[in-house]
Structure 1
Amino acid sequence: MLRKSILLIAALQLVALVAYAHVDLITPCARYSSAPGCPPPPPGQSIDYNTNAPISSGGINNQPLCKHSVPYAKRTVYKAGQSIPTGYGIGSAHGGGHCQWALSYDREKTWVVIQTEIRTCLRGAVIGQSPTIPVTIPIDAPSGEVTFMWAWINAVGVREYYSNCADIQVIGRDGGTISGVELLLANFNTTYGIIPEFPNPTDPDGHELFDARKPITISVKGSGSGITSNPSPSPSPSKPNKNGAGRKRCQLQSTLLFILTFFVFIPLNM
């Protein structure tokens, strides 16, 4: 009986490792985060204990970009030109990858990328660490209630897309424009294309897709009363996935879980 219990616990731990060993934004607080110091969710919403899970895996989109659409009532305040020490909870860094940080002034309809890190983002981070990456709010950012997004394409493993959103208040100019590039959604689903794994320095990593992102300018009217953008975001093309390693790894995980189920759960009933 003790042996069966130990095997059952091991199987459940493996399931948890496969499902939840990823990365999430913890500073500023991602929406409904369970991280210490984060505010409670808005009325009618629940704490999200799975903010470190990808929103897309294997070309299948599971959740929208921000995961949750209702913003926090209380926002973290930052000044235009201020550097935010963004912090991350590490389950598995998947060899690092590509990170983008973006702002939206119109409730996640339009995004402008303000900072990008290609290939090396979160590389070398290990489980239990809480690394920080400085991200600067543009000095010309207009004042307003803003959604701050972190998006990540992992280098190794099942082809996934991660993102978390935080609700912030920017103190800057009263109206004006903010410019950058469109958000790249490769690996978000097959419509936008899949960037293969790139564990080695010479592996194709899709960096040319980031170079090809279109410029975008967001205009904010005085007192944050209105938003216009030019151009509107459009899908960014990418090459099809010619590397099936990520999908094969996902299939291997499913097979392993099936074997564990057969040898652990079935004997419990014998």
Structure 2
Amino acid sequence: MILPTTILLTTLAVYLLALTTTTTAHTGLAYPCGRYQGAVGCPAPPPGQVVDVDINAPIGTNLGINQQLCKTSIPYPFSSRTVYRAGDTIQTAYSIGSAHGGGHCQWALSYDGEKTWVVIKTMIRTCLQVTPETQANYRIPVQLSKDLPSGNVTFMWLWYNAIGQRELYSNCADIRVEGRDGGSVKGLEPLIANYGPGYPAFINEFPYATDPDGSELFATRSAVTIRVRGSGVGTSETGSGATSAPTGSNQSSFGSRIASGSLFPLSVALASSFYLFN
């Protein structure tokens, strides 16, 4: 006879295996520490929050959304933030379980609580193209402009994998920038694709060099200006001087949609099946 305790332990073992598979099969931001990253040297989660055991998991696919950008909207306290000077280069590092053939990456900053983002670096195709020999020490330098204003900033990483399910990955680090006393940050909004029916931009698989890779979509990103007061709090002007986006791309409404939380939920069961079998 199988005892209830045996059933419980077996179920727990399967659950833990699923968590391990989910976490190690993908890639997440390791440095600066992504929110609720459980790695040694990263701060403890804020009160009431727990370590993210799925830190490497995608936040959604072209079929639906599982998590918001950054995975969570509750930042680390100011005392736990890594401080950078304007002009510094951040040597970003990644916990790579599977790099899915590399792909496209964007890095962006927000001064206004993730309502508005400005892209500071984009890599097309070559992001996370690693080998077993280079994977452990893989770094991507991301430079902060020397003109950045001071403030408490959210640093976001976005990744579109080249091979596998059509996923979007996002991790965020809470940092402090020491720079000018107020000013503006100008650039482009991030491209959001493969993120549910509300964001129809779609990037297909591109395992071979001759495959269409959706890189033309990055030219549709709208211009944005974030104005930062001397207190370090930002306000935005989305679309100022913007390039025209294709009809239905939703790129021009990106900031307002994230701020309002108008996201489409993805079934947990469906998301789990994507994560476990990709």
TM-score of the superposed pair, with normalisation by structure 1: 0.80
**Residue aligning to 1:153:** 160
Work out the percentage of aligned pairs sharing the same amino acid. 56
Report the equivalent of 1:129. Answer: 136
Partners in 2 of 1:49 and 1:168 — Cα distance?
A: 22
* Deviations 1:242-266, CA, capped at 9 Å, x for gaps: xxxxxxxxx9x969x89xxxxxxxx
Q: Is the 8 A contact 1:59 1:189 kept in 2?
A: yes
Structure 1 residues 52, 167: CA separation in 2 closer, same or farther (over 3 Å shift)?
same
Instruction: Confirm or deny: 8 A CA contact 1:141 1:177 kept in the other structure.
Output: yes
- 2:69 maps to 65
The residue aligned with 2:169 is 162
Match of 1:192 in 2: 199
Letter in 2 for 1:153: Y
- Asked whether the equivalents of residues 148 and 165 of structure 1 are also in contact (C-alpha less than 8 Å), the reply is yes
Deviations 1:199-244 (A, max 9, x none): 011111110111221221111112324423233898239xxxxxxx
Q: What's the TM-score once normalised by structure 2's chain length?
A: 0.78
1:219 and 2:227 are equivalent in the alignment: yes
**Could you tell me which residue of structure 2 aligns to residue 262 of structure 1?**
none
Is residue 235 from structure 1 mapped to residue 238 from structure 2 by the alignment? Answer: no
**Aligned equivalents of 1:58, 1:17: Cα separation in 2:** 24
Relative to structure 1, the CA distance from residue 69 to residue 83 in structure 2 (aligned partners, 3 Å threshold; closer, same or farther) is same
SS at match of 1:211: helix
Counterparts of 1:249-260 in structure 2 under 5 Å?
A: none
Q: Which residue of 2 aligns with 1:111?
A: 117
CA contact (8 A) 1:90 1:125 kept: no
**63, 73, 85: which is aligned to 2:91?**
85
**2:250 aligned partner, one-letter code:** P
1:96 corresponding residue in structure 2: 102
The reply to whether residue 176 of structure 1 matches residue 188 of structure 2 is: no
Report the Cα offset of residue 13 of structure 1: 8.6
- Report the residue type matching 1:85 in the other structure: Q
Task: Pick from 19, 24, 29 the counterpart of residue 22 of structure 2.
Answer: 19
Conserved? CA contact 1:28–1:87, under 8 Å: yes
1:224 counterpart SS class: coil
Partner of 1:55: 59
- Give how far 1:140 is off: 1.0
2:60, 2:194 within 8 Å by CA — same for their partners in 1? yes
For the Cα contact (< 8 Å) 2:158–2:168, is it kept in 1? yes
Counterpart code for 2:43? P
Quickly say closer, same or farther: Cα 1:63–1:130, change in 2 above 3 A: farther
On the 8 A contact 1:27/1:88 being kept in 2, the answer is yes
Matching of residue 142 in structure 1 with residue 149 in structure 2? yes
Range moving further from structure 2, 91-100 or 43-52: 43-52
Rounded to whole Å, the distance in 2 between the matches of 1:122 and 1:113 is: 18
Alpha-carbon displacement from aligned partner over 1:142-165 (angstroms, at most 9, x marks no partner): 100000000101000000000000
Q: Is the 8 A contact 1:59 1:160 kept in 2?
A: no
* 1:198–1:16 Cα change, 3 Å: same
SS at match of 1:19: helix
Unpaired runs of 5+ residues, structure 1, are 1-7, 238-250, 259-270
Contact 2:102–2:130 (Cα < 8 Å) also in 1: yes
Say which is worse superposed, 144-153 or 122-131, in terms of deviation: 122-131
Cα RMSD (Å) of the superposition? 3.2
Deviation at 1:68, TM superposition (A): 1.3
SS of equivalent residue, structure 1 residue 87: strand
Structure number with larger C-alpha Rg: 1
Q: In the alignment, what sits opposite 1:43? A: 47
The residue type equivalent to 2:95 in the other structure is G
Secondary structure (helix, strand or coil) at the match of 1:135 reads: strand
